[in-house]
Amino acid sequence: MSDKKLTEDLAQIIQEMEQKCIEHPDSIMAHHHLALVYRKAGRHNDAIKELKKCVEIDEHSHEAYINLGAVYFELGKLDDALQANKMALLYAPNPAQAHTNIGLILQQQGEHEKAIDSYTKATHHDPKLAFAWVNLATAQIMAGNFDEALHAAKKAVELDPNFPMSHNNLAVAYYYKKDYAAAKKAIDTAVKCGYPVDPNFIKAVNEEL
């Protein structure tokens, strides 16, 4: 699909959803769907407005808080993103996604140990959430906890063998554990899955073989 066609389609969808919000001003679903399309169209401020409308209608709307946090994160407004996800924690039946998002924000802020704590909480609430395990592996690597990183990366690969970043993290963990053959194998799988592995890392592993 061309960019022009996509833009035209989004404009038509937005127009239809805006009309639904006018007809059903108290519908969380209508405002939420409009917010998601605004976000896809790059209209972040409009998306924020609609998501805030959702939580005005129902302050327990945890999905609105999750998406509000995501939009703020994309805008680089990390404090606002953190606050939105903390609100999601209050109301989400399963807070795994919110804990994962908080981990990402803390990691972005350089708070690696706090990020590890958040990712760990996410894996406790949802042991099958591969994205949490992938990011936990990243945070453990950055903190220098290579045994823990290897465990998290292996878990991520087990849960989602097609997740490219999990294989890259597995390769990095193996590298720091000095298992260079396993690192090379994980790199090859990551590349095959489409992950842009750092050429300098590939070179470093190959030099050890």
- pLDDT value for 1: 46
Share of the chain above pLDDT 90, in %: 94
Average pLDDT over residues 92-113: 96
Determine the Cα–Cα distance for residues 136 and 63; give it in Å rounded to an integer.
23
Let me know: does 95 contact 89? Beta carbons within 8 Å: yes
The tens digit of pLDDT for each residue in 68-83 reads 999 999 999 999 999 9
What's the whole-number average pLDDT of the chain?
95
Let me know: does 73 contact 51? Beta carbons within 8 Å: no
| DSSP tag of 2 | -
Determine the Cα–Cα distance for residues 136 and 55; give it in Å rounded to an integer.
30
Q: What is the pTM of this model?
A: 0.89
- pLDDT value for 9: 83
Determine the Cα–Cα distance for residues 183 and 14; give it in Å rounded to an integer.
47
The tens digit of pLDDT for each residue in 137-161 reads 999 999 999 999 999 999 999 999 9
CA 64 to chain centre: 16
Lowest mean pLDDT among 6-10, 49-53, 160-164: 6-10
Helices (H), ranges, 75-193: 78-91, 96-108, 112-125, 130-143, 146-159, 164-176, 180-192
